[in-house]
Chain A
Amino acid sequence: MELIDASLVDWSRAQFALTAMYHWLFVPLTLGLGVIVAVMETIYVVRGSVFWKDVARFWMSLFGVNFAIGVATGIILEFEFGSNWSNYSWFVGDIFGAPLAIEGIVAFFLETTFLAVMFFGWNKVGKIPHLVSTWLTMIGACLSAVWILVANAWMQHPVGMAFNPETVRNEMVDFAAVAFNPVAVSKFFHVVSSSWVLGAVFVVGVSCWYLFRHRHEAFALASIRVAASLGLAATFLTGVTGHASAVNMAKFQPMKLAAAEGLYEGGTGVGLVAVGLLNPAADWSRADENAFLFRFEIPKALSWLATGDADRYVPGINDLLRGGYETEQGDIALSAEEMMARGRRAIAALGDFRRAAAVGKSEEARVAEGVLEKDFPYFGYGYLKNASDLTPPVPLTFYSFRLMVASGCFFAVLFAGVLAAGRRLTTWGTWRRPVFLGILCCIPLAYAASEAGWIVAEVGRQPWAVQGLLPNCAAVSRLAVGSVQTTFFLFLAIFSLLLVAEVGIMLKVIAKGPNV
């Protein structure tokens, strides 16, 4: 059997990242615009004003365009699991299958049923049934996100399963543990609230374009009022849920937290890098005192944010590789070399078990199964060649984290600013042109921040497909590198063409404007 080419792993990852990032252009706007439309329609039903009905209908039409053009983009990811990541797909077994099946059923029945009533039912059903349909469509979209994120959270922090060496699969033994995985809970609220922020930035940005062009000013001001209020609340919620995610990161994925902070040597009372410039000449995989060219730290903030205690210990990348420190659970952390040795023992035990079981040597199989069970938490470490393979790409994780957090803080100020300005937005003189165009430019910034969040989550947990259990080099299918490269460029061409067409449709609807 030939060796797996390292570039196969890289190209397969690149292809998955391309598809996931393209898919993620549509999902947050669906979630964000959905809740804004639902709030606007609620105002219409409560006040009985036709103006608010027209406002809701316009944003609903953009919601519909985004929904239609984003449909089925996620299915390609599921194809990629089967074709490019077949070992991974087999290994995760029903843990991944069950949440995705629930997602499919919920998404299909709830979204498609109520989406139709929401779009086609304005003059066919009463106000209240229509409003209920709008809210149920929004709730359906959120419920779809729940199950996708439950599956993703299991990859970050695998729980509620038992590995079956006969089938070489993980089998779910505790559905509640999988569904209420702490990583899934914090991730769900963080993803949904950050999507609301993106939706709010989109509405405020488009509305500012109307103000800039002196068109539909009453409509634009009303839209800004709703979107900025919701966006401001969502920004604070995103901050709170982001903090919960960071606490989980410190507990379950300390290497990701260390990479996001560029922290090589940990300690007690560790500061948080508020602003920093990494040294491009540094060796990111191991100890480097010159990791930063410049940094400004908030004293003790990382210890406080990660553990709730400003004087608690937070391990750095080198500490995690060396081991020997006391973990949150009170154990002494193993070194990378020790974990790699236990991983190799687990893999060898799997082979011993299967060989013994195949010839009916049940006692030998039982002994091997015992070894495998004991060392299975380190199974994936057995595939690593060097301890430094455990270090994720530090610069990408570090800068993505800062882009995400800085954008979130900036959006809070933006929402507060436009809310405070209120009607004065229409009377600004000299500054109106740069301010409105600047706010319009915040739309791509919101997308960049949202994608950056996923980069922190996914790049920061490298080299793992499933944390601690399966690295990418074992998860990837044995394919020709050339065929993966071909599909990568094919997807790039298809996605680019579709995106141009889709953005064109969206701009056409915006240019036409609302019927108010």
Chain B
Amino acid sequence: MSVFSKILGMRVYSSCRGDAKRAMLPPVLMMQMADAVRRVIRFYAEGFRSMTLGRVLWALVLLKLAVIFGAVRLFFMPPALVGSEARKAETVSAEFMQRAENR
């Protein structure tokens, strides 16, 4: 935690009064949380860097996700039922009736 952020946090905290002060997290705790988040990010970043097959695997995973969400979902598999809930219920009900008649 830098001296600057510690002082800034103390100033913001001490400038609040009453409910606002109670609702706010103590600056030291905020700094500890920020530090924890930074450590988690560093943990992941170092982990990914150390992967021996990382690049190929992640390229494959990203390609797969792009194909699934970018192409398949958007262009090939849009939801068949659209509109309000009542409209969807009406559509399905009409389909059920029609298919029973045409069986």
Contact = CB atoms under 8 A, between A and B. Distances in A.
A474 B79 contact: no
A116 B77 contact: no
B96 A4 contact: no
Contacts of A82: 77, 79-81
A350 B94 CA distance: 10
A116 B44 CA distance: 7
A168 interface: yes
Nearest to A117: B43
Interface in A329-369: 344, 347-348, 350-351, 354
Contact of B89 (A3, A75, A167): A167
B85 interface: yes
B100 A4 contact: no
B93 A350 contact: yes
Interface residues of A, number: 58
A86 B97 contact: no
B56 to A, nearest CB: 6
Contacts of B11: none
Interface in B13-45: 43-44
B61 interface: yes
Report which residue of B79, B85, B100 has the largest number of chain A beta carbons within 10 angstroms of its beta carbon: B100
A383 interface: yes
Contacts of B6: none
A46 interface: no
B98 interface: yes
B53 interface: yes
Contact of B92 (A91, A344, A486, A502): A91
A505 interface: yes
Nearest to A124: B43
A61 B50 CA distance: 13
A432 interface: no
Contacts of A4: 99, 102
> Which of A69, A168, A169, A490 has the most C-beta atoms of chain B within 10 angstroms of its own C-beta?
A168
B10 interface: no
Contacts of A229: none
Contact of A69 (B61, B94, B95): B61
A229 B56 CA distance: 34
Nearest to B52: A61
A344 B103 CA distance: 11
A269 B46 CA distance: 65
Contact of B81 (A90, A121, A124): A90
Contact of B88 (A79, A90, A478, A501): A90
Contacts of A71: 61, 64
A87 B103 contact: no
B61 A350 contact: no
B77 A477 contact: no
A87 B92 contact: yes
B92 A479 contact: no
Contacts of A382: 100, 103
B80 A490 contact: no
A384 to B, nearest CB: 7
B99 A383 contact: yes
A420 interface: no
A347 B61 CA distance: 46
Contacts of B72: 76, 79, 487, 490-491
B92 A90 contact: yes
A473 B99 contact: yes
A490 B76 CA distance: 10
Interface of A: 1, 3-4, 61, 65, 68-69, 71-73, 75-76, 79-80, 82-84, 86-87, 89-91, 116, 119-121, 124, 166-169, 344, 347-348, 350-351, 354, 382-385, 473-474, 477-479, 483, 486-487, 490-491, 494, 498, 501-502, 505, 508-509
20 contacts: A1-B94, A69-B57, A82-B80, A83-B77, A83-B78, A87-B95, A90-B81, A91-B92, A116-B47, A119-B47, A120-B50, A347-B97, A354-B93, A474-B96, A494-B67, A498-B60, A502-B60, A505-B53, A505-B56, A505-B60
Given A116-B44, A166-B89, 15 more contacts: A68-B58, A69-B61, A69-B64, A76-B77, A80-B77, A87-B92, A116-B43, A119-B51, A121-B47, A167-B85, A167-B89, A382-B100, A385-B103, A502-B60, A505-B56
Interface of B: 43-44, 46-48, 50-53, 56-58, 60-61, 64-65, 67-68, 72-73, 76-81, 85, 88-89, 92-100, 102-103
